[in-house]
Amino acid sequence: MRKLWLLVVVVLATHAHAFAQARGRGGAPAPPQTAKAAAPIDLSGYWVSVVTEDWRYRMVTPAKGDYQGVPMTPEARKIADTWDPVKEEASGELCKSYGAPAILRVPGRLHITWQDDQTLRMDTDAGKQTRVFHFGGWKAPAGPHTIQGDSAAEWEGGGRGSTDGAMKVTTTNLKAGFLRKNGVPYSENTTVTEYYELLKMPDGSPLLVVTISTTDPMYLRQPFVITSQFKKEPSEAKWHPTDCSATW
Amino acid sequence: MTRKMFVAVALVALVGTRAFAEIDLSGSWQSINHEDALERGAGPNPDDWAGLPFNESGRAKALSFSQSIISMPERTCWFQTQWHIAAGPFSLRMWAVPDPITGKVQAWMVGAWETRAPMTIWMDGRPHPSKNAPHDQTGFTTGVWNGNELIATTTHLKTGYMRRNGAASSDQATITTHFRRHGDLLTLTLIMEDPVYLTEPYILTRSYNLATNPVAIGGPPCIVGDEGVESGRVPHYLPGKNPFVDEMMKRYGIPSDAAMGGAETMYPEYRDKIKAAFKRPEKCTINCG
């Protein structure tokens, strides 16, 4: 019987050790890692949109009244029905459809870099937007609502497979904007929750998949959930910054 | 070592391994059809293959397609391979099938969407059959865990479809499905490779909410019926005779070249190519949501 318990303890200890190693921890308590050091996946680099879904809402500007798929409230529909591209163009607010809830639907390229050990930065060439993801229990300072809002990030899972783990991002303090270029609105009370994940394509190349859940108590009947995917590019060669447009 | 001792050690080892090798995917998952809502619901517009990495054969095959072909008894159920998870609107139910002796998961089942048999994802390391083994609409699927991600690979499919408007997949197609769960949200990424009809992998993603209402297991099967197509006639369009090639231009101002698909239509640069030819209609008149 003593032998049996000894064996059980050894097996359990082996598992615990393997698990700790897999998560990058040793036996002794280690100082807290920075977000950069703890990253289970490498999101940095240049990425290009792969537009295989919602093509006619993303690659071209849909017609007024084309709202297929968006769980809009009646109030949202009323607002969207007044969309006037000429007025939008004249208003000077050309980036309404480039805010955090919509920017990953805009065909283009992403450039993701570590700004510092606790902050990941994402630039887009389409619309020349910048999003900043703050790790480490960051709290947004009081301030005006902005196009990209304030984003708190955390790692989920990871360490148990070559592409296991995800970056969860929660974004608030957004300035009101458009989910689609044809005036489908979101309000400044919107919250965006995103999961950034890496998959391996059959040829071994990485695919970035981002699941985006947008909640808006004013203009959405339920969370609007979409997923965008991006292939990795070897360099900045195709980086092509363009300004926001209200009509294209 | 006594038998008791062996069993105890084996159990501890098994529990330990499973604790950090997988995540529970079981349950009813309600489909969230916010993207590609038309394509998954009522069905895509005719001759809309934008964003689909066709080769010339794929395009030619699609252009020959007449929707009436599914009135033929032998082709009524033609299009519903496992890709129907991505192309249809249906919710999923997933459950694990344990080995009766070891308790280890032998297979994951993904079922309950209309007209399709459940997909069995074999998790016991068995190999795929010979390439000469029979193909059917369900195909043959094996799975592996990558941390919390389940990766399923499906081969041995019959000819089916990629979009429900004639874009076909061949019997050489392979589908890789990635299952990722975040709390009550499940995301599937499906990647189709087809050396016969595609120049690049075709990627679609689908999302689901964990549901408390159970999704029925085994929806109504695809039933072959006689719809009166006379024997020997195969509905089709000859080259150059497809009447819908301008349909996307008529409905949405999208140039026909874009609607004909091809890998370049998936990437941002393609917008520059069609900018001058695109004519946004003043108002949406059909399939507007």
Is there a single domain that holds both residue A5 and residue A96? no
**Integer Cα distance of B267 and B11 in angstroms:** 51
pTM of the model: 0.90
What would the mean pLDDT of A102-130 be, rounded to a whole number? 98
Cross-chain CB nearest to B270 (options A59, A61, A248): A59
Is there a single domain that holds both residue A12 and residue A134? no
Place of tokens 């004249």: A90
Residue A15 predicted with pLDDT over 50:
no
Is there a single domain that holds both residue A105 and residue A20? no
Q: Which residues of A touch B8 (CB under 8 A)?
A: 4, 7-8
In this prediction, residue A173 has a pLDDT band, given cuts at 50, 70 and 90, of very high
Instruction: Please report, as a single letter, which amino acid is at residue A84.
Output: D
Question: A188 in a domain, yes or no?
Answer: yes
Cβ(A99)–Cβ(A148) under 8 Å?
yes
Which stretches does DSSP call E strand in chain A? 45-49, 109-116, 119-124, 130-134, 150-156, 166-172, 177-180, 184-186, 191-200, 206-215, 224-233
Is there a single domain that holds both residue A174 and residue A96? yes
pLDDT score, position A22: 41
Give the B window 15-34 contacts with A, CB below 8 Å. 16-17, 19-21, 32-34
Question: CA of B93 to nearest chain A CA: how many angstroms apart?
Answer: 19
Whether residue B150 lies within 8 A of chain A, CB to CB, comes out as no
Cross-chain CB nearest to A164 (options B146, B207, B265): B146
> What are the distances in angstroms from CA B168 to CA A241, B81, B199, B255, B258?
37, 11, 14, 22, 18
pLDDT score, position B233: 87
Question: A129 in a domain, yes or no?
Answer: yes
Show the tokens assigned to B40.
């998954």
Is there a single domain that holds both residue A99 and residue A198? yes
What would the mean pLDDT of A184-206 be, rounded to a whole number? 97
Q: Which residues contact A76 (CB under 8 A, 6 or more apart)?
A: A184, A185, A218, A219, A220
> Which ipTM was obtained for this model?
0.90
Is there a single domain that holds both residue A135 and residue A196? yes
Show the tokens assigned to A160.
């148990």
- Higher pLDDT residue, A14 or B37? B37
H-type helices in A181-222, by residue range? Answer: none
**Integer Cα distance of A188 and B105 in angstroms:** 46
Show the tokens assigned to B14.
């098994």
Q: Which residues contact B12 (CB under 8 A, 6 or more apart)?
A: A8, A11, A12
Is there a single domain that holds both residue A74 and residue A3? no
- CB contact under 8 Å between B191 and A162, yes or no, is no
pLDDT tens by residue, B151-177: 999 999 999 999 999 999 999 999 999
Neighbours of B43 (CB within 10 A): 16
Pairing of strands B119-122, B140-146: parallel
Question: CA of A205 to nearest chain B CA: how many angstroms apart?
Answer: 12
Is there a single domain that holds both residue A142 and residue A177? yes
pLDDT score, position B3: 55
Question: A242 in a domain, yes or no?
Answer: no
The residue of chain A nearest to residue B180, with distances taken between CA atoms, is A197
Residue B7 predicted with pLDDT over 70:
no
At A21, which helix (H) or strand (E)?
helix A2-22
pLDDT score, position B4: 57
- CB contact under 8 Å between B35 and A159, yes or no, is no
Question: A241 in a domain, yes or no?
Answer: no
Q: Which residues of B touch A248 (CB under 8 A)?
A: 271, 275
What would the mean pLDDT of B252-268 be, rounded to a whole number? 97
**Domains recognised in chain B with CATH numbers:** 27-34+68-211 (2.40.128.20)
Q: Suggest the residue from A66, A110, A193, A242 to mutate for an interface test with chain B (most B CBs closer than 10 A).
A: A66
Question: CA of A34 to nearest chain B CA: how many angstroms apart?
Answer: 22
Is there a single domain that holds both residue A131 and residue A15? no
- CB contact under 8 Å between B193 and A19, yes or no, is no
**Integer Cα distance of B181 and B210 in angstroms:** 10
Cβ(A167)–Cβ(A153) under 8 Å?
yes
Is there a single domain that holds both residue A162 and residue A78? yes
**Integer Cα distance of B180 and A247 in angstroms:** 36
- CB contact under 8 Å between A11 and B174, yes or no, is no
Question: A238 in a domain, yes or no?
Answer: no
With CA atoms as reference, report the closest residue to B253 among B227, B278, B216, B228: B278
At A56, which helix (H) or strand (E)?
helix A55-58
Which H, E and C letters describe chain B, residue by residue?
CCHHHHHHHHHHHHHHHHHCCCCCCCEEEEEECCCCHHHHCCCCCCCCCCCCCECHHHHHHHHCECHHHHHCHHHCCCCCCCCHHHHCCCCEEEEEEECCCCCCEEEEEEECCCECCCEEEECCCCCCCCCCCCCECCCEEEEEEECCEEEEEEECECCEECCCCCCEECCCCEEEEEEEEECCEEEEEEEEECCCCECCCEEEEEEEEEECCCCCCCCCECCCCCCCCCCCCCCECCCCCCCCCCHHHHHHCCCHHHHCCCHHHHCCCHHHHHCCCCCCCCECCCCCC
- CB contact under 8 Å between A56 and B50, yes or no, is yes
Whether residue B183 lies within 8 A of chain A, CB to CB, comes out as no
What would the mean pLDDT of B104-124 be, rounded to a whole number? 86
Residue A5 predicted with pLDDT over 80:
no
Question: CA of B145 to nearest chain A CA: how many angstroms apart?
Answer: 8
What would the mean pLDDT of A43-54 be, rounded to a whole number? 98
- CB contact under 8 Å between A109 and B202, yes or no, is no
What would the mean pLDDT of B207-214 be, rounded to a whole number? 95
Residue A159 predicted with pLDDT over 50:
yes
Q: Which residues of A touch B2 (CB under 8 A)?
A: 4
| Residue A119, CA atoms < 13 Å, CB-side half-sphere | 10
What would the mean pLDDT of B80-90 be, rounded to a whole number? 87
State which residues form the domain around A107: 35-233
Q: Suggest the residue from B154, B182, B208 to mutate for an interface test with chain A (most A CBs closer than 10 A).
A: B182
Cross-chain CB nearest to A202 (options B20, B145, B176): B176
Cβ(B205)–Cβ(B187) under 8 Å?
yes
With CA atoms as reference, report the closest residue to A18 among B40, B21, B91: B21
Q: Which residues of B touch A240 (CB under 8 A)?
A: 268
- Straight-line distance from the first to the last Cα atom of chain B, in angstroms, rounded to the nearest whole number: 68
pLDDT score, position B75: 83
- CB contact under 8 Å between A53 and B148, yes or no, is no
**Integer Cα distance of B285 and B251 in angstroms:** 8
**Integer Cα distance of A245 and B18 in angstroms:** 51
Question: A239 in a domain, yes or no?
Answer: no
Is there a single domain that holds both residue A108 and residue A86? yes
In this prediction, residue B111 has a pLDDT band, given cuts at 50, 70 and 90, of confident
Q: Which residues contact B285 (CB under 8 A, 6 or more apart)?
A: B251
Is there a single domain that holds both residue A83 and residue A115? yes
- CB contact under 8 Å between B147 and A159, yes or no, is yes
As a whole-number percent, the residues of chain A with pLDDT over 90 amount to: 82
Domain count of the fold of chain A: 2
Q: Which residues contact A230 (CB under 8 A, 6 or more apart)?
A: A47, A48, A49, A50, A110, A207, A208, A209, A210
Phi, psi of B20 (to 5 degrees): -125, 30
- Range in A13-17, A111-115, B67-71, B221-225 the model is least confident about: A13-17
